[in-house]
Amino acid sequence: MKHIFRFGVVFCLLCTKVYAQSFNNLPVLTQKPPLHGKHWMAVTGKPLAVAAGAMTFTKGGNAIDAACAMLAATCTMWDVLSWGGETQALIYNPKTKKVIAINALGVAPTGATADFYKSKGFKYPPEYGPLAAVTPGTPGGLMTMLAEYGTMSLKDVLAPAMQMAEGYPIEAQTANSIERGKELIRQWPYSKKVFLPHLGEKYEAPEAGEIFVQKDLLETLKKLVNAEQQALAKGKSRKEAIYAAYDVFYKGEIAKEFVRGCQEQGGLITEQDLANWKVKIEEPMMTTYKGIEVYKLQQWTQGPAMLQTLNILENFDIKSMGYNSSRYIHTLYQAMNLAFADRDFYYGDPAFAPEEPMKGLLSKEYAKERSKLINPDANDPKIGPGDPYPYEGKINPFQDVLKNWSSASLFSPKNNATFDVQFEESFTAGTTSVEATDAEGWVVSVTPSGGWVPACIAGNTGVGMSQRMQAFVLDPKENPFNVVEPGKRPRVTLTPSLALKNGKPFLSFAKQAGDEQDQLLLQFFLNMVEFEMTVQEACEAPSFKTMQMYSSFGKHERINGGLTLNEATPNWTRKELGRMGYKINYQERTSGPINAIYFDWKHGSFWGGSSNHGEDYGIGW
């Protein structure tokens, strides 16, 4: 009887394993099911914001309309960004079959020079407050995308966000973030008025589930809609009416109040700064990986670093190494270090001299030479930027700086960072992402950010100011391309992604979290291309992170050999990586949050995916 009982238990266990619910093609359990849709798909950082996208689709909007509605909602919810931040997007236009880049990053204001910040005792521009602010870009980015590629009115697209500004039940994540940042918030009168409804009590932030009301922001959004509606009443076209609202924000009464409130609190932004700023519609950067076209924004973001890494990895048979083996992790880590060292030295605003050597940096020949520097047996903490200029037929004008960069940076005090909470929060400073597509073929990937809690609100606009100035450097010896000056865009981490295969959309993907964005997006992409995971498996699969590049935030530190692994990493892999010279840290979940849409051309449908932590998710139809 014992033998029969044991057989029965084993048989039942086997049955349980075989018939356990799997949401994927392979017998692998994911904690979230993939999304499926035929007509449209919407994925973003907050469930309520996803609902805004879904409502927009059901009203007849296209993917751009829905993405704008989701962007407006996430800004209104302070999902680690706000209306005064910046918006970066890639759009696939099915009519032209081309990918378009949207550059709605703000610029350094008048008076924002390296000497100014040094005179204040700063080694880098500050992390928080009015002096951390570039000009607001998200309102202009949203209205430009909507005017040029959407179909709906600004009134309809902003309707969900305006309802939320009237009052919505705030979620615990944001409420607790406000409470943690209340010491700074108390210093700024307009922020204190909005964020701390229980001032003087032990818990001063809104409570989770409390109706969070933003009267000033609602009035700002009403002014935009009123400007549009008045223009329509005068016979203006849909596009012209949206741009009339654009002018109210950047040249009208909203601009005046924003500038007044900014300067009252010690900021530098002027009315002329707002009036002169423009959204740029650009050509994206692109490389191919095994025939797949991968698109990123230009070098004012870190996006090309992922393209450089893919070029380097083409020189290795990474699939044969095995997913997340010690050899695989080591090879990707070293390849990323090569690319990110170039990012740290060469990337900056292409509108300003000197010109970045992007042709050389993205050449396959340069990548092949860089790949030869990878030591297969140990981490190399001395890896620095390469010299891409010969691959453009030029001589590097910064040879002397380049020679000293690696040795100087290696022993810099900045390199003394440890795996503490402050460093990791700085390194992975959050944002959100927005992914949308529709049956017509429009695809949009957005990584908006800026103006996160604790945010300094500009006057009675309800608009939080950006904190993106901290991405600049003050010393050209660190990066001669990214030194702060008025009118210049900082080199940011924000990096949406699109991939085409056989001339058709293949993947739309993006994630939050600062300097780790392109690291994890790279691994997500390889999960699907090399290891044939479904989009949800690829979103949830454990990733790793390198801390050997410089943080774009705070003190701009790095950890030589710093490696974050998933807690599920086997002991033998941990030991092997330890022998290779890595300083290892562990996290329970390391997958993102990544949001993605996969285009299933075989069946004529969309697959949506979202990592298994955070509040990110989506809806498909």
pLDDT tens, 383-392? 999 999 999 9
pLDDT at 4 over 90: no
Alpha-carbon span 334 to 367, nearest angstrom: 13
Q: Alpha carbon of 478 to those of 345, 556, 580: distances in Å?
A: 7, 11, 28
Find where tokens 């709605």 sit.
104
pLDDT tens, 226-266? 999 999 999 999 999 999 999 999 999 999 999 999 999 99
Amino acid of residue 568: A
Confidence band (pLDDT; 50, 70, 90) for 615?
confident
User: What residues contact residue 40 under an 8 Å CB cut-off, 6+ apart?
Assistant: 57, 63, 66, 436, 437, 438, 439, 606, 620, 621
CB atoms within 10 A of CB 250: 23
pLDDT at 39 over 50: yes
Which tokens hold the place of 279? 């959204």
Q: What is the DSSP letter of 133?
A: P
Lowest average pLDDT, out of 111-125, 136-150, 403-417, 453-467, goes to 403-417
Mean predicted confidence (pLDDT) in 427-436 = 80
pLDDT at 46: 86
Using a pLDDT cut of 70, give the percent of the chain over it: 91
Amino acid of residue 582: Y
pLDDT at 409: 52
pLDDT at 80: 85
Confidence band (pLDDT; 50, 70, 90) for 407?
low
Alpha-carbon span 431 to 78, nearest angstrom: 10
Alpha-carbon span 602 to 597, nearest angstrom: 15
What mean pLDDT is reported for the chain? 92
pLDDT at 11: 26
Q: Which helix (H) or strand (E) holds 226?
A: helix 215-233
pLDDT at 342: 97
Mean predicted confidence (pLDDT) in 445-464 = 96
User: What residues contact residue 156 under an 8 Å CB cut-off, 6+ apart?
Assistant: 56, 59, 61, 65
Mean predicted confidence (pLDDT) in 67-86 = 94
pLDDT at 442: 98
pLDDT at 113 over 70: yes
Confidence band (pLDDT; 50, 70, 90) for 7?
very low
Alpha helix (H) residue ranges in 322-466: 326-346, 358-361, 364-371, 399-410, 421-427
**Max CA distance (Å), the chain:** 89
pLDDT tens, 330-364? 999 999 999 999 999 999 999 999 999 999 999 99
pLDDT at 422: 65
Identify whether the C-beta of residue 484 lies closer than 8 Å to the C-beta of residue 473: yes
pLDDT at 22 over 90: no
pLDDT at 24: 54
pLDDT at 119 over 70: yes
Three-class secondary structure of residue 381 per DSSP = coil
**Of 67, 111, 97, residue with least CA distance to 432:** 67
Rounded to two decimals, what is the model's pTM? 0.93
pLDDT at 426: 59
Q: Which one has a higher pLDDT value, 189 or 559?
A: 189
Identify whether the C-beta of residue 71 lies closer than 8 Å to the C-beta of residue 143: no
Answer positive or negative: Cα dihedral of 451, 452, 456, 457: positive
**DSSP assignments along 271-331, one per residue:** HHHHHH---EEEPPEEEEETTEEEEE--TTBSTHHHHHHHHHHTTS-HHHH-TT-HHHHHH
pLDDT tens, 265-290? 999 999 999 999 999 999 999 999 99
pLDDT at 19 over 50: no
pLDDT at 31: 86
pLDDT at 220 over 60: yes
Confidence band (pLDDT; 50, 70, 90) for 412?
low
pLDDT at 538: 94
pLDDT at 75 over 90: yes
Confidence band (pLDDT; 50, 70, 90) for 158?
very high
pLDDT at 414: 54
pLDDT at 192 over 70: yes
Which tokens hold the place of 152? 């709906």
pLDDT at 28 over 60: no
pLDDT tens, 301-336? 999 999 999 999 999 999 999 999 999 999 999 999
Mean predicted confidence (pLDDT) in 593-604 = 95
pLDDT at 21 over 80: no
Confidence band (pLDDT; 50, 70, 90) for 592?
confident
pLDDT at 149 over 50: yes
Alpha-carbon span 590 to 542, nearest angstrom: 5
**Of 411, 417, 451, residue with least CA distance to 431:** 451
